[in-house]
Chains A and B, each alone.
Chain A
Amino acid sequence: MRKPKHSPGLKLMIMGICLIGIFLFSLLLGRYAVPFADVLRILASVVIPVTKTWSNLAENMVLLVRVPRICTAVLVGASLSVAGASYQCIFSNPMAAPDLLGASTSAGFGAALAILLGCSSFVVTGWAFTASMLCLLLVLFIARLGKGSVTLNLILAGIMISSLFQAGTSYLKLIADPNNTLPEITYWLMGSLSGMTMKELGYVWIPITIGMVPIFMVRWQMNLLTIDDMEARTMGVSTSRIRVLVIICSTLLTAAAVSVSGIIGWVGLVIPHIARRISGNDCRYLIPASALLGGSFLLLVDDLARNLYSTELPLGIITAVIGAPFFIWLMIRERIS
């Protein structure tokens, strides 16, 4: 068989260019029209002095409304996809998704509790994140107590804790005021990026960076987690250490993403699969490909969410409506070929 036509590096570069293209395109979208030339000038004015030829409203619209939202969408999409791809490696299971260990359901509980207590949206984010991290600690602790395979214990502990938090959320919805807090909780659980400001973006990038950097550093070694553990250890890889590191980092990514955006399913499952098809299973390329594709995908989905109707559509609904049929199509195509 011949060498593959395109090198993985080239493919990553094309994905990066696509992301930048979608980013610029997204800045144009919205009810208040800002011409493309103005968008570019406004962006440039942040770093270099440019003679001002645009209105203050246009500047605020681009820099204070669209940029934070678009950047958050990219970060959330990239985080969920990288977390999904990492979970798939750690658990040697192509069906693993970022919410496997309960990171999303617990964040949902934290958010619901904060909404019920009448907290501001910023505090809600903090509570969601805290609940998610607490859930991770619980899962790691319980998995240690169990006998036998650590991986299996983690998954079982994740399912248990997740269902407990799910029950908690249901209870909170039951006692929530159906006129104001209940719809707010329900809407949060369906995922949305509306009302993102520089303040949220200013915080969310921190945990995302802390989670992303170690995963990128050990991404070659992550390949060896997908083969037999004993084989990997004879190749000099401390599998248990890397596994715990990657679990913590990818849960951190999921928690950070979900706490700002609410629960968005499918991205963490579908995007790594598409990334695998394009750049192969080698995590050296799979992880960056997942990040780039996930960022682009969620950004497009968010563009739909804010422009399709006069009211915003929840992201979770759009990702499911796009994700599920796409997944089925992939399965069928694979069978035919």
Chain B
Amino acid sequence: MSVQVSNLSFGYPGQPEVLKDINFTIPEGILVSLLGPNGAGKSTLMKCMLGLMRHYRGDIVLDGVDIRNLTPKQMARKTAYIPQSAEGVFNYTVEEMVLMGTTSLLSGLNSPGKKEEETVLSALRKLHIDHLRYRRYMNLSGGERQLVMIARALAQNTRILYMDEPAANLDYGNQIRVMEEIRSLIREGYTVFQTTHNPDQAFLYSDRIMALAEGKIIAYGTPQEVITPDLIRRLYHIETEIERLHDDRIRICIPASVLEGVKTDEQRVN
């Protein structure tokens, strides 16, 4: 299932445009990371693509269908959204939480039953968290909660997943675990579009990088092509050097200030 965005512009009423003439296509089965500074319009772009915004100009097309022609329920059968795990008011069990994802699959105002519970169980198994089934969501660790959020989206039975910084607020180990699970979803054919603040993570896990600044896409391509010291300077106004490891199979960003700091520290210590 592919996503096509053409000539997309959006502004909140009475305010300057947040997104300006955006064009891109996301092919099936890849992980695209959206990089951009705070306020660049990342979440607005994602909201538009999820069909949560009205009054945008241009077209967003899912598998040949303009999303304007889809009801919320039809939309929810095509795309799922994975938020950053947050505190809720009522402490639902993991099973109940993930069952919520099946709502769009129910006809009319029906309640989920045995069939949906099976869907939930297989989503939990896929992410290796079926042992959490009867635990309460808010009693889980941050990493477990994030996996539950992903399971909820899987239970929605869509092929496209939108994620809002899935690894933010997680400790290092959980970040890696969550990203590994996302990678294995890509291998199964899911299409994932995520926002991130971390260029290294984009390097390590993404197939494509999209860079958004001041409401415009300034770069879109493979991490090797797109992530350059120049781009990082334009996005975040800091100087970086890019190191190539393992015969350039892996790249990482190192802030220039750190490299200089290391030199002066060496001189001071010696």
Contact between chains at B81 and A94 (CB < 8 Å): no
Contact between chains at A282 and B103 (CB < 8 Å): no
In whole Å, how far is A52's beta carbon from the nearest beta carbon of chain B? 46
Contact between chains at B92 and A223 (CB < 8 Å): yes
Q: A220-B109, A223-B96 are in contact. Are A2 and B134 (CB under 8 A)?
A: yes
Query: Whose C-beta in chain B lies nearest to the C-beta of A242?
Result: B109
Q: A223-B96, A226-B88, A227-B100 are in contact. Are A237 and B72 (CB under 8 A)?
A: yes
Partner of B134, one of A1, A93, A224, A276: A1
Q: Does B211 interact with chain A (Cβ within 8 Å)?
A: no
Stretch at the interface among A228-236, A261-269, A300-308: A228-236
Q: A228-B83, A235-B100 are in contact. Are A3 and B134 (CB under 8 A)?
A: yes
Q: Does A163 interact with chain B (Cβ within 8 Å)?
A: no
Contact between chains at A235 and B109 (CB < 8 Å): no
In whole Å, how far is B254's beta carbon from the nearest beta carbon of chain A? 36
In the complex, A227→B80 CA distance in Å?
15
Q: Does B38 interact with chain A (Cβ within 8 Å)?
A: no
In whole Å, how far is B163's beta carbon from the nearest beta carbon of chain A? 12
In the complex, A93→B88 CA distance in Å?
10
Query: Whose C-beta in chain B lies nearest to the C-beta of A89?
Result: B90
* Residue tally, chain A, CB below 8 Å to B: 31
Q: Does B73 interact with chain A (Cβ within 8 Å)?
A: yes
Specify which chain B residues have a CB less than 8 angstroms from the CB of A2 in the assembled complex.
134
Contact between chains at A220 and B112 (CB < 8 Å): yes
In the complex, A329→B135 CA distance in Å?
25
In whole Å, how far is A11's beta carbon from the nearest beta carbon of chain B? 15
Contact between chains at A238 and B72 (CB < 8 Å): yes
Contact between chains at B96 and A280 (CB < 8 Å): yes
Contact between chains at A281 and B103 (CB < 8 Å): no
Specify which chain B residues have a CB less than 8 angstroms from the CB of A226 in the assembled complex.
88-90
Partner of A224, one of B89, B93, B103, B135: B103
Question: Interface majority SS on A: helix, strand, loop or mixed?
Answer: loop
Contact between chains at A236 and B77 (CB < 8 Å): yes
Contact between chains at B79 and A220 (CB < 8 Å): no
State the total of A-B contacts with C-beta under 8 angstroms: 85
Q: Does A284 interact with chain B (Cβ within 8 Å)?
A: yes
In whole Å, how far is A179's beta carbon from the nearest beta carbon of chain B? 49
In the complex, A217→B109 CA distance in Å?
7
In the complex, A218→B103 CA distance in Å?
11
Flag B84-100 by CB within 8 Å of A: 1 or 0 each. Answer: 00101111110010001
Q: Among residues 162 to 203 in chain B, which have CB atoms less than 8 Å away from a CB atom of chain A?
A: 162
In the complex, A4→B135 CA distance in Å?
10
Query: Whose C-beta in chain B lies nearest to the C-beta of A286?
Result: B90
In the complex, A220→B132 CA distance in Å?
22
Q: Among residues 1 to 48 in chain A, which have CB atoms less than 8 Å away from a CB atom of chain B?
A: 1-4
Q: Does A219 interact with chain B (Cβ within 8 Å)?
A: yes
Specify which chain A residues have a CB less than 8 angstroms from the CB of B86 in the assembled complex.
228
Q: Does B101 interact with chain A (Cβ within 8 Å)?
A: yes
In the complex, A276→B89 CA distance in Å?
13
In whole Å, how far is A65's beta carbon from the nearest beta carbon of chain B? 40
Specify which chain A residues have a CB less than 8 angstroms from the CB of B109 in the assembled complex.
217-218, 220-221
Q: Does A92 interact with chain B (Cβ within 8 Å)?
A: yes
In the complex, A235→B73 CA distance in Å?
7
Q: Does B232 interact with chain A (Cβ within 8 Å)?
A: no
Q: Does B75 interact with chain A (Cβ within 8 Å)?
A: yes
In the complex, A282→B90 CA distance in Å?
9
Contact between chains at B52 and A234 (CB < 8 Å): yes
Residue among A228, A230, A231, A236 with most chain B CB within 10 A: A236
Q: Among residues 87 to 123 in chain B, which have CB atoms less than 8 Å away from a CB atom of chain A?
A: 88-93, 96, 100-101, 103-104, 106, 109-112
5 contacts between A and B (CB under 8 A): A219-B111, A228-B83, A232-B100, A234-B52, A237-B72
Q: Which 8 A-B pairs have the closest CB atoms?
A: A236-B76, A236-B104, A234-B81, A220-B111, A236-B73, A281-B90, A92-B89, A1-B134
